[in-house]
């Protein structure tokens, strides 16, 4: 039986969100009888139920590191891995056996997947998220105060945000530390909010965009702000879907 490898950069939660769509697209094009071996860091295994609940025959290979030298041992000395079709991205694409090998050298930024013929539209169209029962619900605590106070992450941004008592300003990346990964809490919060103002370059803002694009939340008053003097990620897409 043929095998497929799926390995991608896992620097942060944004990587997990974006590449979950890529995996879903690949799975849709390959028979479910064929296993896909997903090399995943231990710290990101917590995301599996939320992002991959419906995908079949995905075999997770938990790793302490995705360093290319470490991976080379796994891939070179295992017949199953060495003979697999390799869907590798970022600097790990050195292991690919197609024309996209070393394509990462042409990337204009960390999430430039156009070099692999992956469009933003494909990423959005294939994204799914499955909220679970939260074991620790931060959103209830936040919602309790959301109609009476403003949660502000940057005093310098207050004028641009044009805040009122019925609006909440949240830097989700600070409120929900990456290691907690409480996207399910954020999903609950989004569904109870009347208005959302968020930093536009955080991982949870990308998650918010996915939910909005797929009509999984009903919030109409959503605004993205960029706290740094850099280009707001996905601004053109956000303008179109919002």
Over residues 71-76, the mean pLDDT reads 84
The percentage of the chain sitting over the pLDDT mark of 70, rounded to a whole number, equals: 68
pLDDT at 164 over 60: no
Over residues 172-177, the mean pLDDT reads 58
pLDDT at 58 over 70: yes
Over residues 156-175, the mean pLDDT reads 56
User: Which of 85-94, 134-143, 181-190 has the lowest average pLDDT?
Assistant: 134-143
Over residues 193-201, the mean pLDDT reads 74
Neighbours of 167 (CB within 10 A): 19
Calculate helix-pair angle for 13-29, 203-213, nearest 10 degrees. 40
CA 165 – CA 150 distance, rounded (Å): 7
User: Which of 46-55, 59-68, 222-231 has the lowest average pLDDT?
Assistant: 222-231
Over residues 209-237, the mean pLDDT reads 69
What pLDDT, on a 0 to 100 scale, did the predictor assign at position 22? Answer: 95
In whole angstroms, how far apart are CA 185 and each of 52, 57, 172, 197?
A: 18, 28, 11, 17
SS3 of residue 207 by DSSP: helix
User: Which of 52-61, 143-152, 186-195, 199-208 has the lowest average pLDDT?
Assistant: 143-152
CA 190 – CA 193 distance, rounded (Å): 5
Which has more confidence, 151 or 39?
39
**Interval 76-130: pLDDT, tens:** 877 778 888 999 999 999 999 899 999 999 988 888 899 999 987 888 788 887 7
SS3 of residue 87 by DSSP: strand
For residue 170, what are the β-bridge partners?
Answer: 198
CA 218 – CA 216 distance, rounded (Å): 7
The percentage of the chain sitting over the pLDDT mark of 90, rounded to a whole number, equals: 30
pLDDT at 160 over 80: no
């Amino acid at each position: 039986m043929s095998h497929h490898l799926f390995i991608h950069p896992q620097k942060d939660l944004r990587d997990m969100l974006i590449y979950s769509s890529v995996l879903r697209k690949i799975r849709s094009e390959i028979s479910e009888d064929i296993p896909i071996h997903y090399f995943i860091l231990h710290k990101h295994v917590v995301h599996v139920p939320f992002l991959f609940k419906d995908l079949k025959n995905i075999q997770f290979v938990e790793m302490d590191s995705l360093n290319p030298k470490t991976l080379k041992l796994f891939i070179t000395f295992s017949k199953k891995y060495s003979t697999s079709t390799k869907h590798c991205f970022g600097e790990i694409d050195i292991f690919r056996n197609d024309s996209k090998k070393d394509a990462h050298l042409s990337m204009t930024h960390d999430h430039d997947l156009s070099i692999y013929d992956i469009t933003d539209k494909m990423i959005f169209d294939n994204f799914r998220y499955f909220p679970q029962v939260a074991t620790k619900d931060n959103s209830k605590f936040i919602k309790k105060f959301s109609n009476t106070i403003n949660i502000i992450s940057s005093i310098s941004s207050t004028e641009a945000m044009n805040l009122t008592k019925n609006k909440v300003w949240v830097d989700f990346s600070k409120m929900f530390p990456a290691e907690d990964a409480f996207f399910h809490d954020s999903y609950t919060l989004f569904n109870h909010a009347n208005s959302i103002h968020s930093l536009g370059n955080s991982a949870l803002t990308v998650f918010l965009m996915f939910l909005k694009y797929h009509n999984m939340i009903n919030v109409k008053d959503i605004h993205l702000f960029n706290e740094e003097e850099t280009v707001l990620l996905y601004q053109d897409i956000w303008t179109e879907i919002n």
